[in-house]
Structure 1
Amino acid sequence: MENALVIGASGGIGRAVAAQLERLGVAVTRLSRSVDGFDLTDEHAVAAGLQALDVKFDLILVATGALEIGGSGPEKSVRALSARAMLDQFALNAVGPALVLRESARLLPRDRRAVFAALSARVGSIGDNRLGGWMSYRSAKAALNQIVRTGAIELARTHKQAICVSLHPGTVATAFTEKYLGRYPAAPPDEAASNLLRVIAKLTPAHSGGFYDWAGKEVPW
Structure 2
Amino acid sequence: MDTALIIGASGGIGSALSQALAVRGVAVTGLSRSGDRLDVTDEDSVRAALARLDGPYDLILVATGALEIGGARPEKALRQVTAQAMTDQFALNCIGPSLVLKHAVRLLPRDRRCVFAALSARVGSIGDNGFGGWYSYRTAKAALNQMIHTGAIELSRSHREAICVALHPGTVATAFTEKYLGRHRSVTPQEAAQNLLAVIDDLAPAESGQFFDWQGRRVPW
* Alignment-derived partner of residue 153 in structure 1: 153
Which consecutive segments of 4 or more residues in structure 1 shift more than 2 A?
none
What are the within-5 Å matches in structure 2 for residues 6-21 of structure 1?
6-21=6-21
CA RMSD of aligned residues (A): 0.5
What are the within-5 Å matches in structure 2 for residues 38-187 of structure 1?
38-187=38-187
Structure-2 separation of matches of 1:205 and 1:196: 17
Structure-2 separation of matches of 1:13 and 1:75: 24
TM-score normalised by L of structure 1: 0.99
Structure-2 separation of matches of 1:143 and 1:206: 22
Partner SS state of residue 164, structure 2: strand
What are the within-5 Å matches in structure 2 for residues 23-34 of structure 1?
23-34=23-34
TM-score normalised by L of structure 2: 0.99
CA apart distance, 1:173: 0.2
Structure-2 separation of matches of 1:50 and 1:211: 25
CA apart distance, 1:52: 1.1
Structure-2 separation of matches of 1:64 and 1:104: 15
Structure 1, gaps ≥5 residues long = none
Structure 2, gaps ≥5 residues long = none
CA apart distance, 1:132: 0.7
Structure-2 separation of matches of 1:93 and 1:161: 26
Q: What residue identity is the alignment partner of 1:160?
A: R
Structure-1 separation of matches of 2:16 and 2:180: 21
Structure-2 separation of matches of 1:81 and 1:34: 29
> Kindly, what percent of the aligned residue pairs are identical?
68
